[in-house]
Amino acid sequence: MSEVIQQPNSVKKILPLILATAIFMQMLDSTILNTSLPSIAKDLHESPLNMQNAIISYVLTLAVFMPASGFLADRFGTRKVFIVSLVLFSLGSLFCALSQNLTHLVISRVLQGVGGSLMTPVGKLALIKTFDKNELLKAMNFAIIPALIGPVLGPLVGGYMVDYLSWHWIFLINIPIGAIGMILGAKYMPDYRSKDVDFDLKGFLIFAAASLLLSVSLELFGDIQNITPVLLIFILGFLFLYYYYKHAKKDESPIFPLNLFQVRTFRVGVVGNLATRLGISSVPLLLPLMIQIAYGQSAVTSGWIVAPMALTAIFGKSSVIKILQKYGYRQTLMVNTFIIGTLICLLAIPNIHSSLYWFIPIIAVLGFFNSIQFTSMNTISIADLRNFQTSSGNSLLSVNQQLAIGFGIAFGLIVLKIFQSSDLIGGEIHNAFRYTFLTIGILTILSGLVFRRLHISDGKNMQSK
């Protein structure tokens, strides 16, 4: 675990808020575009199907540049890098709003992505270095809530802004939030840096290529008719990962040292994040899609059905510390994953004639347990990292989460398309969604087995006194 540098109480109070602001901006921006694409496409004289590039370019930029966040923070200081990342993100947002065509929008989204790729990992790194082990869970718990609220509010806010203002406002909203982050960052963000900084450019390029290829394959996987080239890109991505593994074994200071995976809690946290998000990540996308496509409701209505997930996440935040203190990380994560998987399966029960209100209690309870899941997974992953591992471990965890969310969304859509083209559904699109929820729910339940690798005593040093 990192060597904590004592900071004034004012810094400890404001720092989690600064990170929460950064996470909220990034998560909101990852999802707010979904309900707005048809309106933007019409204004830019493009087909809505071509507009996917505006989403893909942002996700790819995040995956490619996140690995450099630890090095840049160590080299130039957390405060400077964090403020620069907010400037880039805000400028990217402004240019998005001013875009006259799709090319302008994609370039602006790339600039946003560069800012976003540094913003959250660097803010989280400052948090890890500021708080003692027994304080970190509480601080991280506060900062992680926007990661749960952002994907839920994104489609809702986007829907309202497009209907009542214009699509430009979904980007302009970032500028005042970014300005507040810069002011708070300049005053309260600690300026941590490392004396021993050696950037592994070759490793970065290899890992970036792997992330890029895997991300591209994720975005293209939904095209069932042309699966061969997509599989080739996917396999090539894994070959680059293997090439990185060979490189990291030989290099004296690789960007992601292999000794990170000798830390059992980190290893379990990374694999657990990847496995459980396969199911969790696709729900905020699949449920609104089902409500709009199968039930014929508006984007705003679907947004309101999913909204309770954000409210109950706050209650989960206030309960997670007590739950972890009572049951420990191993039992909490295993039982919690089982509950989440079961709740996803329950989304398959209502038929096309059922009331939409049926979904509200399920989604509300799901938000509560998602909050516990994310806080627990994120804190156990960094529980036993040493000081020299903190920057690289934190960066790798951020990249892993980004790819895991992408995998989850792509996986959910692939399963949906498979059922949609099968005879099982009897020509009813609603049944394709029901079978998809059952499939990802069962897989989520099985993913809880990953956490059996934890020991009962793991994470004791993370709990608040």
State how far the Cα of 279 lies from the Cα of 380, in Å rounded to an integer.
Answer: 20
- Quote the CA–CA distance of 432 and 423 in Å, as a whole number: 10
- Amino acid present at 319: S
Say how many residues make up the chain: 465
Which residue shows structure tokens 């892993």?
400
**Distance of alpha carbon 73 from alpha carbon 211, whole angstroms:** 21
Q: Nearest 5 degrees, angle CA 458-CA 71-CA 210?
A: 80
Q: Got the DSSP string for 316-334?
A: HHHHHHHHHHHHHHHHHHH
Per the CB < 8 A criterion, the answer to whether 366 and 372 are in contact is no
- Tell me the C-alpha distance between 462 and 222, whole Å: 40
Which pair of tokens denotes residue 336? 């919690």
Measure the CA–CA gap between 60 and 110, rounded to whole angstroms.
8
Residues 6+ apart with CB under 8 A from 311: 364, 367
Q: Do 369 and 343 contact (CB within 8 A), yes or no?
A: yes
In 10 A of CB 127, how many CB atoms? Answer: 24
In a structure prediction context, what are the per-residue pLDDT tens digits for the chain, which is 465 residues long?
A: 444 455 666 677 777 778 877 777 777 776 676 666 667 777 877 765 566 667 767 777 887 788 787 778 877 888 888 889 999 999 999 998 888 888 888 889 889 988 988 888 888 777 777 777 667 777 776 776 666 666 667 767 777 777 777 788 888 888 888 888 888 888 877 777 777 667 778 888 898 888 888 877 776 765 556 677 888 888 898 899 899 989 988 877 787 888 888 888 888 888 998 889 888 888 877 887 788 778 877 767 777 887 788 778 777 777 888 888 888 888 899 999 999 999 999 998 887 877 788 888 998 999 889 888 988 888 888 777 776 677 778 778 877 887 787 778 778 877 888 888 777 666 678 888 889 999 999 999 999 999 988 888 776 655 544
